[in-house]
């Protein structure tokens, strides 16, 4: 059996190309990309990656189509040209040496948030907080230009994903499965936010204590990145933890009592 990664955590050439094709089919079948959209890379050495070719649908790739490159962007082997958007993949690897795989796609709901200029940071589910974290939005950059890698550079070390304004999304991970699952989680998170914010019109966010507990769980899982979602301290709400009607009645009684005491005090003078 061929090992997926070697002792240093890098993919063999065979496994890298095989997994890129598998993930390509998954993002295509999930409707995260259309036509020839998206690109995927996997690190196979300290200074080398395998990348998807330009002009090929991610759902119909074969291992012989892959392009081997160094982290400076030079092609080492392969009969196809790499996507011009490989520049942002290279920037992630150079900014964050722990990353072993990068996935770029255009998942519809997450990309809609990117188009609207809205980052994803509301703490609505434990899974999103622990496995994904907050997702910032990088400023618009013309696809294929140096502007794109420059726009994402500030987010590569401390986050697990980034939205690309008016473009799509980028995720990365310690292996290709983690990078892909983060893309799935990103779209799922965006979908839940869309439903709760705009269809149900009600969102119960996790409070600060709950998020602190989840941060501890994230640390135990060995996840060091993702950012911390903003939260509301549950102690700021005097009605928290009580039946709302009962709490309101108690508050009214307290106000009436204090007003009455003040009136009686003034009458005695």
Residue with tokens 């962007």: 73
Task: Report yes or no: 174 and 100 within 8 Å, Cβ to Cβ.
Answer: yes
Domain boundaries along the sequence of the chain: 13-199, 237-268
Helices assigned H by DSSP within the chain: 13-29, 86-95, 108-116, 126-127, 147-152, 176-194, 208-220, 244-268
CATH architecture of 13-199: 3-Layer(aba) Sandwich (3.40)
pTM of the model as a whole? 0.84
Q: Is the dihedral of CA 165, 167, 168, 172 positive or negative?
A: negative
DSSP class of 247 = H
Residue 2 has what pLDDT? Answer: 40
pLDDT band at 3 (very low <50, low <70, confident <90, very high): very low
pLDDT, tens digit, 9 for 90 and up, residues 181-240? 999 999 999 999 999 999 999 999 999 999 999 999 999 999 999 999 999 876 545 444
Report how far apart the first and last C-alpha atoms of the chain are (Å, whole number).
Answer: 95
Joined tokens for residue 179: 């990078």
Residue 257 has what pLDDT? Answer: 77
pLDDT, tens digit, 9 for 90 and up, residues 114-145? 999 999 999 999 999 999 999 999 999 998 89
Joined tokens for residue 34: 């259309």
Task: Report yes or no: 46 and 115 within 8 Å, Cβ to Cβ.
Answer: no
- The rounded radius of gyration (Å) of the Cα atoms in the chain is 24
3-state secondary structure of 237: coil
From the list 75, 222, 84, 61, the residue with the least C-alpha distance to 142 is 84
Q: Which residues are catalytic?
A: 85
Residue 105 has what pLDDT? Answer: 98
CB atoms closer than 10 angstroms to residue 242 = 12
pLDDT, tens digit, 9 for 90 and up, residues 154-177? 999 999 999 999 999 999 999 999
- Residue 269 pLDDT greater than 70, yes or no: no
Residue 1 has what pLDDT? Answer: 34
In sequence order, what are the residues at sequence separation of 6 or more whose Cβ sits closer than 8 angstroms to the Cβ of residue 194?
109, 112
pLDDT, tens digit, 9 for 90 and up, residues 7-60? 578 999 999 999 999 999 999 999 999 999 999 999 999 999 999 999 999 999
pLDDT band at 243 (very low <50, low <70, confident <90, very high): low
pLDDT, tens digit, 9 for 90 and up, residues 49-108? 999 999 999 999 999 999 999 999 999 999 999 999 999 999 999 999 999 999 999 999
């Amino acid at each position: 059996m061929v090992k997926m990664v070697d002792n240093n955590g890098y993919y063999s050439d065979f496994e890298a190309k095989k997994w890129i094709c598998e993930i390509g089919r998954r993002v295509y079948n999930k409707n995260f990309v259309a036509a020839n959209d998206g690109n995927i890379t996997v690190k196979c050495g300290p200074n080398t990656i395998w990348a998807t070719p330009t002009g090929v649908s991610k759902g119909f790739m074969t291992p012989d189509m892959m392009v081997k490159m160094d982290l400076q962007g030079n092609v080492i082997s392969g009969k196809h040209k790499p996507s011009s958007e490989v520049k942002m993949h290279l920037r992630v690897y150079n900014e964050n040496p722990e990353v072993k795989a990068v996935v770029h796609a255009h998942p519809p709901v997450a990309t809609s948030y990117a188009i609207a200029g809205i980052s994803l940071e509301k703490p609505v589910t434990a899974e999103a907080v622990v496995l994904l974290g907050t997702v910032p939005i990088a400023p618009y950059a013309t696809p294929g230009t140096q502007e794109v890698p420059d726009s994402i550079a500030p987010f590569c070390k401390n986050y697990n994903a980034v939205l690309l304004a008016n473009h799509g999304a980028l995720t990365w991970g310690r292996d290709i499965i983690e990078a892909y699952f983060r893309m799935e989680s990103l779209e799922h998170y965006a979908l839940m936010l869309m439903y709760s914010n705009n269809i149900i019109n009600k969102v119960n966010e996790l409070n600060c204590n709950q998020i602190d507990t989840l941060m501890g769980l994230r640390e135990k899982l060995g996840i060091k990145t993702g950012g911390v979602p903003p939260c509301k301290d549950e102690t700021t709400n005097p009605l928290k933890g009580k039946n709302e009607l009962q709490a309101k009645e108690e508050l009214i009684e307290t106000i009436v009592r204090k007003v009455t005491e003040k009136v009686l005090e003034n009458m005695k003078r």
